[in-house]
Amino acid sequence: MAKHKSPARPAPTLQEQLPELREGQSVALLQELHILTREGKLNQDTRRKLKQVYHLVQFIEPLLAEVLAARGDVTLADHGAGKSYLGFILYDLFFKSKTVGRVIGVETRAELVAKSRALAAKLGFERMDFLATTVQEALTHPGLPARIDVVTALHACDTATDDAIAFGLAKHASHMVLVPCCQAEVAGVLRQHKALSLSRSPLAELWRHPLHTREFGSQITNVLRCLQLEASGYSVTVTELVGWEHSMKNELILARRMADDRHGARERARQRLTQVLDELGLPELQSRFAVDSGASPVTA
Ligand SMILES: C[S@@+](CC[C@H](N)C(=O)[O-])C[C@H]1O[C@@H](n2cnc3c(N)ncnc32)[C@H](O)[C@@H]1O
């Protein structure tokens, strides 16, 4: 019996490979970011990054639209921008079709900033700027406007997330979108005072073993960040960025600046923050989680 060759399956289209791809999205950008190969195929190595960024974009776009509708302009600062995947994709999907709005990437590594600047110029993304500076220095950087509406920090290393929060508080940002990286500072202080803490409270068992010190330190850091934000007048939602299979660092903190202080929520959070720091033997970290007590009204 003659063997029939089954017809070769057609290569999957780009839309099939990447269902999140939107109409009008720049294929040139995805190639420049090495998300697509020169042949237009999805690069499996950057697929995970893309999934994270797309997932984050779903949360950020409505916030940008909300600020834009309220005040006719919107500025976003992305801290620890790295190669600026997030900034570029947001610009392509949201800002490109508008005549206003600005994206600023803050990144310490000058070579990454130079590359991002060159790419923005090549693609004609005129309202994108990049600063080769630290998040701390960005606070007083003359190249940054006094008003920043949306602050993002995706896996900004160690305490850079804390600096991004301090930046957002100082700029009275309407929204902060944070995916923290591991933070070593709190775990370090827990470790330093471990013997004393164990003699004082059985709860110190939570961080007695070195692995637990690191994990508990990481978790409590995010708890303290949330209290800091709430005490500074933000409502906070904590959720997952993507499934655990994609990344161990997938906690997403969404903070929205509230127009008023409902039922003394700020003061309650401030007290809780102090109590938690005291209970855990971390009062020396009070300044790390400094609360913004300025009650400037929200105009966006
Ligand atoms: C893990 S990468 C994440 C990059 C990007 N946000 C992403 O998700 O693809 C962290 C980046 O933060 C930068 N960084 C670390 N500390 C920083 C600081 N204090 N100020 C600005 N950038 C910082 C690093 O150079 C690095 O590029």
- Tell me the DSSP string of 69-125: HHHS--EEEEES-TT-HHHHHHIIIIITTSSS-EEEEEES-HHHHHHHHHHHHHHT-
Q: How many whole angstroms from 79 Cα to the centroid of ligand 1?
A: 7
* CATH superfamily name and code, 46-181: Vaccinia Virus protein VP39 (3.40.50.150)
Name the residue with higher pLDDT: 248 or 215.
Answer: 215
Q: What backbone torsions phi and psi does residue 273 show, to the nearest 5 degrees? A: -60, -50
| Confidence label for 297 from pLDDT (cuts 50, 70 and 90) | very low
State residue 248's pLDDT score: 60
Nearest residue (by CA) to ligand 1, atom 18, is 134
| Cα–Cα distance list, 42 to 20, 47, 86, 276 (Å) | 12, 7, 17, 46
Name the residue with higher pLDDT: 295 or 90.
Answer: 90
State residue 300's pLDDT score: 40
State residue 243's pLDDT score: 54
Over the stretch 190-239, which tens digit does the pLDDT of each residue have? 999 999 999 999 999 999 999 999 999 999 999 999 999 999 999 999 99
160 token code pair: 């850079």
Q: Is 156 in the pocket of ligand 1 (CB under 6 A)?
A: yes
Q: Is 67 in the pocket of ligand 1 (CB under 6 A)?
A: no
Residue entry with tokens 């939570």: 206
Name the residue with higher pLDDT: 264 or 247.
Answer: 264
| Confidence label for 5 from pLDDT (cuts 50, 70 and 90) | low
Q: Which atom of ligand 1 is nearest to the CA of 49?
A: 9
State residue 207's pLDDT score: 96
230 token code pair: 């709430």
Least confident of 110-119, 161-170, 236-245: 236-245
The residue ranges of every structural domain in the chain are: 46-181, 184-233+262-287
- Res. 135: pLDDT tops 80: yes
Q: pLDDT exceeding 90 applies to what percent of the chain?
A: 70
Q: Is 125 in the pocket of ligand 1 (CB under 6 A)?
A: no
Angle of helix 210-231 versus helix 160-170 axis, rounded to 10: 10
| Average pLDDT value for residue range 270-293 | 95
- Res. 9: pLDDT tops 90: no
State residue 2's pLDDT score: 55
Task: Work out the mean pLDDT of the chain and round it to a whole number.
Answer: 90
State residue 242's pLDDT score: 73
- Res. 273: pLDDT tops 60: yes
| Confidence label for 48 from pLDDT (cuts 50, 70 and 90) | confident
3 state SS of 289: coil
State residue 153's pLDDT score: 97
Q: Residue 84: which of 113, 44, 63 has the closest Cα? A: 113
Instruction: Please name the helix (run of DSSP H) or strand (run of DSSP E) that holds residue 252, with its range, or none.
Output: strand 251-257
| Average pLDDT value for residue range 1-23 | 70
Instruction: Please give the Cα distance from 171 to 210 (Å, whole number).
Output: 37
| Confidence label for 298 from pLDDT (cuts 50, 70 and 90) | very low
Nearest residue (by CA) to ligand 1, atom 11, is 80
State residue 47's pLDDT score: 76
